[in-house]
Amino acid sequence: MQQSPHTLRFDGWHEEIKAVVDNIAEVIVGKEEVVRLLLVALLANGHCLLEDVPGVGKTMLVRATAVTLGCEFKRIQFTPDLLPSDVSGISVYNQKSQAFEFRPGPIFGQIVLADEINRTSPKTQSALLEALEEHSVSADGVTYSLPQPFFVLATENPIEFEGTFPLPEAQLDRFLMKLNMGYPTAADEVDILGKQQVAHPITTLCPVTTPAQVLEWQKQVADVRVDVSVRQYIVSLVRSTRDHRSVYLGASPRASIALFKASQSLAFIVGRDYVVPDDVRALAPHVLAHRILLSADARLSGVDVERLIAELVANTPVPVLHGVRG
């Protein structure tokens, strides 16, 4: 997995969140940073895009998260022939009542796995836009609210794989973060074999919290304090992506909002009620990388977007907070 230019700093723990991470780790071995980042997105009321090769545990990560949180799990397997109505739902005529009735699609879940989202057509991909942004689905002029909490984790294969449709910029921008699983270490892979000798550990995994508690955590995250100097730092960092010579399309104001909310969530997870610049620096690669389009010359020159963000993070002046610890 691509290393962050500034690694996550966990100088403390919200005890209940630590219990969630430890429970998921019973199934997902050696990927605690990915689990933490996923929870950052969930508690910030955002969504995640997970890109990696098949077989590294993307689907199992979502299932383990849903079980651990006690949430309803739904899976959408994206294929080239999938229709938008197969995702959102469809109205059917009921002969007894002589009226059309809406039958919800698999998007009506609390933890939704959008599996191999880049295997389907752009038309079907776009069916997720309203759900991701508004947490609702419209059909036949009626808007239906989605269950809460609502969290989508979409997986995709690298674009080098055959039969993929790259997600458009508008779709990518709806995902708060983009993550990579990466291959496990040799020791972790041996541990995985031992855990699955008799049965898969997901079969015995139990919830450690409830959907109501997740919603309460999301409310508490929104109350985490962000000093005005940190807000200015977030804006300066995001705006620097728009002025770089190698960037064709920089991060939008939606990226500033995403980085703001993700930083609040990370602070909450480590047990703080305020954001520090290190929270922003740690999350910047995961929040910004998928929102930046490099220029043609930069791509031909082999410019790497993660290294570009590391450069911007290093060059953006960091504010000094007075009167707070850390």
- Domains of the chain and any CATH numbers: 1-211 (3.40.50.300), 223-318 (1.10.8.80)
Confidence at residue 207, expressed as pLDDT on a 0 to 100 scale: 96
Which residues does 246 contact at the CB level (< 8 Å), separation at least 6? Answer: 294, 295, 297, 298, 301, 303, 308
Angle, CA 70 vertex, CA 274 and CA 62 arms, to 5°:
80
Asked if 28 and 60 count as a contact pair (C-beta separation under 8 A), the reply is: yes
pLDDT of 96 reads: 84
pLDDT of residue 101: 86
**Tens of pLDDT along 199-227?**
888 999 999 999 999 999 999 999 999 99
At residue 324's C-alpha, the angle toward residues 322 and 326, to 5°, is 110
Side chain identity, residue 315: N
Which tokens go with 300? 């031909």
Conformational region of residue 298, where left means phi above 0, alpha means psi within -120 to 50, and beta covers everything else: alpha
- Strand ranges in 177-285 using DSSP code E only, listed in sequence order: 177-179, 247-249
Could you read off the pLDDT tens digit of each residue along the chain, which spans 326 residues?
344 444 555 556 788 899 999 999 999 988 989 999 999 999 999 999 998 888 888 889 999 999 999 999 999 999 888 988 899 998 888 888 888 888 999 999 999 999 988 888 888 888 888 889 899 998 878 889 999 999 999 988 776 555 567 788 888 889 999 998 888 899 988 998 988 888 888 999 999 999 999 999 999 999 999 999 999 999 999 999 998 899 998 999 999 999 999 999 999 999 999 999 999 999 999 999 999 999 899 888 888 899 999 999 999 999 987 655 54
Exposed (0-12), middle (13-18) or buried (19+): which is 198, by Cβ within 10 Å?
Answer: exposed
Phi, psi of 296 (to 5 degrees): -60, -40
Which run of H or E residues covers position 178? Answer: strand 177-179
